[in-house]
């Protein structure tokens, strides 16, 4: 389920454990989510460490302790974080459990497209330091978006919005929501947008990120019916602004939903 705001919601699920010591680490070693990590290193580094802070950037989460080392969690398609009572049983999709005196901090991921990362050392690892500026930061500029859209000029804008190297945290539903608000057809070539359309796109990226974080990031509520969000999967779903039937089709390899009344495809040359 996780895009920008869902990741932020799940990151906070471990907040009750910040400041407390991890006295035992339980892993499900054959789980695919550990495919790039040394499990012995991870266990050695986390056992008896005090969890101190967490951050997220795009879809990536980072947890730190009072020791050196960088624990990363990516939720993939079906991952989530929870805290549970100390005596809770461990389920088959529970891949990483940090046991503390008063709770367990659990990473769950049935489909295992997610990932646990662990890097030692003082310097931030590339998987963390290379994440581009957040959409809500001052460095997410119209100029940066324009340059990126030019370089990816032949790809459909829907596919380009999903590229984490420029739009960190944007996923399938956010991309559709942004394009719907910006009144841009998902199949429009990224290089064919006018400067005015790019400014609108940039503004709607920020708007959707800000309000998704406000609504979903705190309580996991669904956005209201004035958004495309609650209509995009329902059969016979209608555009909340025009009332027309929404269209659903594969674009750039992902199911894409748009309003044919608002988002029209200009003939390219």
Partner DNA sequence: TCCTATGTTGTATG
Partner DNA sequence: ACATACAACATAGG
Catalytically active residues, by annotation: 2-3, 59, 254
Say if residues 185 and 73 touch (Cβ distance below 8 Å).
Answer: no
Nearer to DNA, 65 or 172 (CB): 172
Contact residues for 234 (Cβ-Cβ < 8 A; gap 6+): none
Nearer to DNA, 98 or 174 (CB): 174
- CB 59 to DNA: min, Å: 4
- CB 67 to DNA: min, Å: 26
- Look-up of token digits 């990224």: 190
Nearer to DNA, 126 or 196 (CB): 126
- CB 160 to DNA: min, Å: 7
- CB 181 to DNA: min, Å: 17
- CB 192 to DNA: min, Å: 11
Cα torsion 221, 225, 229, 232: sign: positive
**3-class secondary structure for the chain?**
CCCHHHHHHHHHCCHHHCCCEEEEEEECCCCHHHCCCCHHHHHHHHCCCEEEEEEEECCEEEEEECCCCEEEEECCCCCEEEEECCCCCCCCCEEEEEEECCCEEEEECCCCCCEEEEECCCCCCHHHHCCCCCCCCCCCCHHHHHHHHHHCCCCEHHHHHCCCCCCCCCCHHHHHHHHHHHCCCCCCEHHHCCHHHHHHHHHHHHHHHHHHHHHHHHHCCCCCCCCCHHHCCCCCCECCCCCCECEEEEECCEEEEECCCCCCCCCCC
Nearer to DNA, 32 or 44 (CB): 32
Nearer to DNA, 39 or 77 (CB): 77
- CB 98 to DNA: min, Å: 22
Nearer to DNA, 18 or 125 (CB): 125
The residue ranges that bind DNA (CB under 7 A) are 1-3, 6, 32, 58-59, 74, 76-77, 92-93, 110-113, 151-156, 159, 162, 164, 171-173, 190, 252-255
């Amino acid at each position: 389920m996780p895009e920008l705001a869902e990741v932020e919601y799940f990151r906070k699920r471990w907040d009750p454990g910040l400041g407390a010591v991890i006295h035992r680490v339980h892993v499900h070693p054959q789980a695919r989510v550990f495919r790039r990590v040394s499990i012995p290193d991870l266990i050695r580094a986390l056992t008896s460490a005090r969890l101190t802070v967490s951050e997220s950037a795009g879809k990536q989460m980072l947890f730190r302790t009072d020791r050196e080392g960088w624990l990363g969690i990516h939720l993939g398609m079906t991952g989530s974080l929870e805290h549970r009572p100390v005596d809770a049983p461990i389920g088959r999709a529970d891949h990483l459990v940090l046991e503390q005196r008063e709770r367990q901090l659990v990473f769950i991921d049935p489909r295992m497209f997610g990932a646990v990362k662990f890097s030692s050392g003082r310097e931030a690892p590339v998987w963390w330091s290379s994440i581009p500026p957040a959409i809500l930061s001052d460095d997410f500029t119209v100029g940066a978006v324009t340059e990126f859209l030019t370089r990816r000029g032949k790809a459909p804008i829907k596919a380009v919005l999903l590229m984490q190297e420029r739009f960190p945290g944007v996923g399938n539903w956010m991309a559709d929501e942004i394009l719907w608000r910006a009144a841009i057809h998902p199949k429009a070539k990224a290089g064919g947008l006018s400067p005015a359309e790019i400014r609108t796109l940039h503004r709607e990226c920020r708007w959707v990120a800000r309000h998704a974080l406000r609504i979903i990031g705190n309580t996991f509520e669904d956005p209201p019916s004035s958004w495309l969000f609650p209509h995009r999967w329902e059969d016979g779903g209608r555009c909340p602004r025009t009332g027309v039937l929404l269209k659903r089709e594969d674009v750039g390899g992902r199911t894409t939903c748009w309003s044919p009344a608002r988002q029209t495809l200009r003939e390219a040359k």
